[in-house]
Amino acid sequence: MDDPTRRPVCHCGLVTEIKTSWTTGNPGRRFFGCKNHASLRYKSCRFMQWYDPPMTPRATVVLNGLLRKLNGLERGRRKERIIWVCLVIVMMLFLICM
C-alpha cells in the first residue's frame, strides 16, 4: 500500500500519507491522513481512513499498559539527567570557589 497511486485522496485533493495513531483507543494503529492535517500554514483537513484493521480489546489494553510504562521510564530518565546536570554544576561551582 506504499504505492502512492493506491492511497486515498483527502478533502484537499492530495494523496494521503500513512500515519500512526497514539490515542488510547487505537494505540499504534495506522491510518491514511492528510499531509496538511496539523499544518498552521494550510487550513486543517480532517480526512482520516484506517489502514490497519481494529485491534482486539486485549491488545489495546496491553499496548496502552506498555506505553504508560515506557512514558514513566522516559520521565524517570529525564529527571535523572536533570539531577546529574545540577550535580555537575554544583561540583564545578564548589571547585571554582575553593
Q: x-or-dash pattern for Zn ion, window 39-68, by CB under 5 A? A: ------x-----------------------
- Give CA–CA dist 12/42, Å, rounded: 10
Residues 12-41 that bind Zn ion (CB under 5 A): 12, 34
Closer Cβ to Zn ion, 12 or 63, answer by number: 12
Question: Quick check: 10 binds Zn ion (CB under 5 A)?
Answer: yes
Identify the CA nearest to 67 among candidates 33, 96, 39, 28: 28
Query: What's the one-letter identity of residue 91?
Result: M
- Give CA–CA dist 1/54, Å, rounded: 17
The footprint of Zn ion (CB under 5 A) covers 10, 12, 34, 45
